[in-house]
A and B are shown apart, each in its own frame.
Chain A
Amino acid sequence: MDRVIYTENLSLSYKNHEPIIKDISFSVHSKEFVFITGASGSGKSTLLKSLYGSMQPTQGKLIVGGVDMNSVTKKKLNFLRRHLGIVFQDYKLIKDWTIERNVGLPLMISGYAKNVIDPQVTKLLTHVKLSHQIGKYPMELSGGEQQRVAMARALSHNPVLILADEPTGNLDEYSSSVIWDLLVGANEQLKSTVVVVTHNIPESLGIPYTHYHIEDGKINEVT
């Protein structure tokens, strides 16, 4: 199987600080569903940041989707990001855009025409059970609904890799289960590789997954 993420002796640190991730090596294969857990401040979100290029490795090797993140150019990084779907705990929706426009953002960036974007957005909003909210702005929706919009945005361009940072951290049980279903659906139907950073792994995910745990800057696979 192809490796979507490859790390070798990877260290990450913030400017003038001790490394938060120390000398780790792991790989994520295509179509794999991966959980990364760890205590608060353990560096799991930092690791995720490095995967979408918001942070450069301090040491070691990091390859995402065939792109070497140590020497990535802005152009290459933009190209890579157009094939990623990113979900955040605080949704990161554009507040003064309607939810349709938010969902269509990755397609707009990829240069699709309006007549391609509109039906895809409607389909996705129906898929995340928000078709009745079309025309509304993010602030008019509940937290769970906003996260579903963020999920729809992450899925809109059939990404190769979905990176989710505590996607259910702020949500109630019902909304959390909807988000897990969407992530599992993306993995099974769209064949996307999924990497989720979380505190809690749902008890019944219904699919096989790989679990890594970060502690003291080191990563270990939990079997």
Chain B
Amino acid sequence: MKSLKSHLSLIIALFAILFSIESFLMSQRILELYQKSVANDYSMIVVSEKQLEAKQLEDIKYFSTLEELSTQMVLDQLKDDISKISLELLKTTLPKFYELKLSDYPDGDTINSIKDKLLSISGVTKVENFSQTHKQIYILLQFTQSIIYFFSLVMFVIGLLLFTKEMRLWQYVHEDRMSIMALFGAPIMLRSAILFKFAFLDSIIALLLMMGIFWMFESYDIYYTLQTILNINQLNISYSQDLQILAFFSFSISFGIALFVMLNHTEKELQ
């Protein structure tokens, strides 16, 4: 019963660590997609007296596409109010309008530096970057990201502290056994075999619990709901890839701490 309790404490701690890692991975993935979707919707308007080519903008950070906006619609609206000659004159003097899209969603400073760079191009007279709207969305995104990262980190640290504490208890519980084995000439690896056995077993159980969480997410369409709320597509969840990452962390942490306990074990003075 005591041993079961000790195992359970260890599994819960390890599970908390894995859950924090998975939360981090998921939120990062979702936020990246959301950022991309916001970036897709975001564009800058460039007004230029000269024809602009995409080639001229290639060295601009996050540059994705440049599309010329037709002025025909504006001219059509004006054709009843002004003379044909004036309209023709307007057609020749009207600057060219471009929609510039970015590949990512940068911060306000980067947006301003892009604007400055665009204005330095010969012929460009005005750049509208919709900075106010952009700034609000960007701050909200950063804030959400920071909160998720903070909670993941807190959970990770608490899990790690709990796990280390449990391992210390383990060390205490197994110290007598390890010392007795040492008296009969057991090499350190054999003495500590039980620690590694438990580390392996508890890692597997914690991973199985995480698989249960994946199954729950899948069954209750949690990702689909998130996609709908955030209005994003293509949220590809690769459970096998995540499991590999979690297995790596699970085994590394548990074996790492078991190794730490093993190396710290000094033969207890047997009175």
Q: Which of B114-122, B177-185, B233-241, B251-259 is the interface stretch? A: B177-185
| B190 beta carbon closer than 8 Å to chain A | yes
Could you say which of B3, B185, B269, B270 contacts A109, with CB atoms under 8 Å apart? B185
Q: Which of A73-81, A185-193, A214-222 is the interface stretch? A: A73-81
| B60 beta carbon closer than 8 Å to chain A | no
Give the distance to chain B from A95, nearest Cβ to Cβ, in Å. Answer: 8
Chain A, Cβ-Cβ closest to B183: A86
Q: Bound state CA distance, A80 and B177, in angstroms?
A: 19
For B183, the chain A residues whose CB sits under 8 A away are 52, 54, 81, 86, 92
| A61 beta carbon closer than 8 Å to chain B | no
Could you say which of A75, A79, A82, A92 contacts B180, with CB atoms under 8 Å apart? A92
For A96, the chain B residues whose CB sits under 8 A away are 3, 177
B residues 223-271 with Cβ under 8 Å of A? 267, 269-271
Please encode chain A, from 148 to 177, with 1 for each CB lying within 8 Å of some chain B CB and 0 for all others: 000000000000000000000000000000
Chain B, Cβ-Cβ closest to A86: B183
Q: A78-B185, A80-B185, A88-B270 are in contact. Are A109 and B190 (CB under 8 A)?
A: yes
Q: Bound state CA distance, A109 and B188, in angstroms?
A: 11
Q: Is the CB of A82 within 8 A of B185?
A: yes
Q: A78-B187, A94-B176, A109-B190 are in contact. Are A54 and B270 (CB under 8 A)?
A: yes
Chain B, Cβ-Cβ closest to A102: B180
Q: Is the CB of B185 within 8 A of A94?
A: no
Q: Is the CB of A82 within 8 A of B184?
A: yes
Q: Is the CB of A92 within 8 A of B270?
A: yes
A residues 77-126 with Cβ under 8 Å of B? 77-84, 86, 88, 90, 92-97, 105-106, 109-110
Q: A54-B269, A88-B270, A92-B270 are in contact. Are A109 and B184 (CB under 8 A)?
A: yes
Q: Is the CB of A94 within 8 A of B186?
A: no
Q: Is the CB of B184 within 8 A of A105?
A: yes
Chain A, Cβ-Cβ closest to B173: A96
Q: Is the CB of B270 within 8 A of A78?
A: no
For B180, the chain A residues whose CB sits under 8 A away are 92-94, 105
For A110, the chain B residues whose CB sits under 8 A away are 185
Please encode chain B, from 142 to 183, with 1 for each CB lying within 8 Å of some chain A CB and 0 for all others: 000000000000000000000000000000000011001111
Q: Is the CB of B186 within 8 A of A78?
A: yes
Give the distance to chain B from A44, nearest Cβ to Cβ, in Å. Answer: 13
For A74, the chain B residues whose CB sits under 8 A away are 188
Q: Bound state CA distance, A199 and B188, in angstroms?
A: 34
Name which of B3, B176, B183, B271 has the most chain A CB atoms within 10 A of its CB. Answer: B183
Q: Bound state CA distance, A97 and B176, in angstroms?
A: 12
Q: Is the CB of A81 within 8 A of B184?
A: yes
**Cβ contacts A to B, 12 pairs, < 8 Å:** A54-B269, A75-B187, A78-B182, A78-B185, A84-B184, A86-B183, A93-B180, A94-B180, A105-B181, A105-B184, A106-B184, A106-B185
Given A86-B184, A94-B176, A105-B184, 11 extra CB contacts under 8 A? A54-B267, A78-B187, A81-B185, A82-B185, A92-B183, A94-B180, A97-B177, A105-B181, A106-B185, A109-B185, A110-B185
User: Which 6 A-B pairs have CB atoms at the shortest separation, nearest pair first?
Assistant: A81-B185, A82-B185, A78-B185, A109-B186, A106-B184, A94-B177
